Amino acid sequence: MAEAKKLYIKTYGCQMNVYDSERMAEAMGGQGYVQTDSPDDADMILLNTCHIREKAAEKVYSELGRFKGLKAAKPDLKIGVAGCVAQAEGEEIVRRQPMVDMVVGPQSYHRLPALAEASGGGTKALDTDFPEEDKFAALKSRPKTARGPTAFLTVQEGCDKFCAFCVVPYTRGAEVSRPAAQVMTEARDLVERGVREITLLGQNVNAYHGHDGGLAGLIRDLAGIDGLDRIRFTTSHPNDMDDDLIAAHGEVEKLMPYLHLPVQAGSDRVLKAMNRKHTAESYVRLIERLRAARPDLLLSGDFIVGFPGETEEDFAATMALVEEVRYGQCYSFKYSARPGTPAAERATVPAAEADDRLQRLQALLNRQQREIQDAMVGQEVKVLFERAGRMPGQMTGKSEYLHAVHVTDPEIAKGDLRRVRIVESAPNSLAGELV
């Protein structure tokens, strides 16, 4: 029996890339590859890339440079670049790094086995098309191996919003939704393999239209799967948060009280320049409706500071919105130009000003996060335990609110969903005891 070939995948960026990497590994598993944690003994190296952050492409080229010695020592080693940098850079990757054998975009990775077969020996394989066929239908059924208690499940891809700072519409394409029946089949398969919590993924997940009832209809159907205890979804756009999805937060017990809903800025002038198509006021009113449906909802968001044209008055409006909304978790970034986007052509805010604003915003967000986390002490939550902790007998998992919680108790096993009383709040986690 031939020895299995080894596949090393490095994943950059968002949860959708994590999901994509899983599916690529499964596709190559059908070709006799098993995953390895080290590139040193790999027969194939795949970099599944993200193009959102500053200098994303240069980081990929730098990473590829580290593999030159491996390629020289093992000429049959195949190296591929997948994901959004592959989509954006295309043939430029092969030109700058001739050792790369394959370049495959995020909509074409179902063709990866054929690309791998066609590449090597100096032959390059490149596929950055937006194919007409459904890549999820083309992918083989997921293998029936055991899984951890949580899983990502992509239901929607692409974006039609064209925010002025974002490359997603260009690298992932237009909004596309998977058919509900296809999603339900994959969800049931995951649950059969031990998954108890599924996070539905999409670049603009609440624009999902593969179910007659939209994302809310899909969530209601998923809630009927025996053995699936928790449902989450990310990432959402305020303009697609419809009435039924708001109602679902109060009506579907399995839908967790955590929502990532980026606003990006608190100034209407900046929001218009970003082409966000909502106002600070409409966002705040939306949050009020969501919290009326689910009073304990923990809110997460994204903010960009130093967007071209942002003034100190604009930034003050962002700080005021944060004070009003109160976020339990948040991500904040200094604006970085993405080539090919409308904002990239505009005059930038001086770096020192942007840095100062980012520090002030992060200080406010960190204070809010810590206050909300500290208020959990004495409260009871349900924790889905996912892995062993740092101390003997300790297990770590996530609460309904996505807080990391650790408990030391020999009764706990991976995959348990247990009621826990919070006894201590640390900077990035909570400590609890079984109730």
Distance CA 216, CA 227 (A): 20
Provide the sign of the torsion angle of the four alpha carbons 112, 114, 117, 120, taken in this order.
Answer: negative
> What is the per-residue pLDDT for 110?
87
Model pTM score: 0.87
> What is the per-residue pLDDT for 173?
87
> What is the per-residue pLDDT for 147?
85
Distance CA 71, CA 358 (A): 41
> What is the per-residue pLDDT for 144?
67
CATH homologous superfamily for the domain 5-127: Methylthiotransferase, N-terminal domain (3.40.50.12160)
Q: Where in the sequence of the chain do the CATH 3.30.750.200 domains occur?
A: 257-375
Distance CA 219, CA 100 (A): 41
- Virtual torsion, Cα 180, 185, 190, 196, nearest 10 deg: 60
Quote the longest CA-to-CA distance of the chain: 69
- Give the other-Cβ count within 10 Å of 410's Cβ: 8
> Does domain 142-256 fall into CATH 3.30.750.210?
yes
Q: In which element (H, E) is residue 83 found?
A: strand 78-83
Q: Where in the sequence of the chain do the CATH 3.40.50.12160 domains occur?
A: 5-127
Q: Where in the sequence of the chain do the CATH 3.30.750.210 domains occur?
A: 142-256
> What is the per-residue pLDDT for 2?
59
CATH homologous superfamily for the domain 380-434: Nucleic acid-binding proteins (2.40.50.140)
> What is the per-residue pLDDT for 142?
67
- Per-residue pLDDT in tens (0 to 9) along the chain, 435 residues: 457 899 999 999 888 889 999 999 989 998 899 999 999 999 999 999 987 766 777 888 899 999 999 999 999 999 999 988 888 888 899 999 999 999 998 888 888 999 999 998 889 999 988 776 677 777 776 666 778 999 999 999 999 999 999 988 888 888 999 999 999 999 999 999 999 999 999 999 999 999 999 999 999 999 999 999 999 999 999 999 999 999 999 999 999 999 999 999 999 999 999 999 999 999 999 999 999 999 999 999 999 999 999 999 999 999 999 999 999 999 999 999 888 899 999 999 999 999 999 999 999 999 999 999 999 999 999 999 999 988 888 999 999 999 999 999 999 999 999 999 999 999 889 999 999
Topology of domain 257-375, CATH: Transcription Regulator spoIIAA (3.30.750)
Asked if omega into 235 is within 30° of 0 (cis), the reply is yes
Q: Which residues are annotated as a binding site for [4Fe-4S] cluster?
A: 14, 50, 84, 159, 163, 166
> What is the per-residue pLDDT for 54?
63
Cα separation values, 187 from 44, 115, 227, 244, 397, Å: 29, 28, 11, 22, 21
Contact 305, 335 (CB under 8 A): yes
> What is the per-residue pLDDT for 364?
98
Provide the sign of the torsion angle of the four alpha carbons 212, 200, 27, 131, taken in this order.
Answer: positive
Contact 257, 217 (CB under 8 A): no
Q: Where in the sequence of the chain do the CATH 2.40.50.140 domains occur?
A: 380-434
Q: Which residues are annotated as a binding site?
A: 14, 50, 84, 159, 163, 166
